[in-house]
Amino acid sequence: MTVSPRVAVLDYGSGNLHSATRALAEAGAEVILTADPATASSADGLVVPGVGAFGACMSGLVAVGGDRIIADRVAAARPVLGICVGHQVLFARGDEHGEVVEGCGVYPGLVTQLDAVRLPHMGWNEVRTPPGTRMFEGVTGERFYFVHSYAALSQADLPVDAQATWTRHEEADFVAAVEWGNVWSTQFHPEKSGAAGGRLLRNWLATL
């Protein structure tokens, strides 16, 4: 009998929780929506969703101790998946309208505004995946759904041994996804990306 991996979706007041929870369940996870530190720490996998502003998401995350939960899981090499602003808050800092806010510091760099005329960047984009990617196994060359105005823009923003997936909006290249050991994160929304997003979530669940 196959046992479904137990996944905690961190509830810290951000939106988009239910679509992420539903997509993970459809991908085969036993999903718990929780802000309880013990539950989030002990789950096989932790998902950090997020929509809206970097600063507001960090405030909500800190209020429930989410920054400590993430740090403890990373230190223990326990799987974490960040989605959209949940991906952004894994970086050391976010710069919105000239205000720099401290992030979780899992990745060393900065999230800042895309250099583009049309913002937010909203819609479907292909991504450029690295060789040997586990995240995009079976979905290389597919399109994923983005809605954001901010992103990490440089390989220097990432740990030196991280695998980055890239895409472009207008003339701006930016980090679309990161694989770094047991930490994966996506600037796009896999839970809104149809069959390709579902396969990506199943790829993550297979690592738990």
Q: Which positions are catalytic? A: 84, 189, 191
Question: Using a CB cutoff of 8 Å and minimum separation of 24, what contacts does 91-94 make?
Answer: 91/152, 91/157, 94/54, 94/55, 94/58, 94/150
Q: Which DSSP state fits 189?
A: B
Distance of CA 108 to the CA centre of its chain: 15
Place of tokens 């292909």: 126
Structure tokens at 34: 């929780």
Which residue in 188, 6, 159 sits closest to 79, CA to CA? 6
Beta bridge partners of 148: 121
CA angle (109 as vertex; 106, 115 as ends), nearest 5 = 135
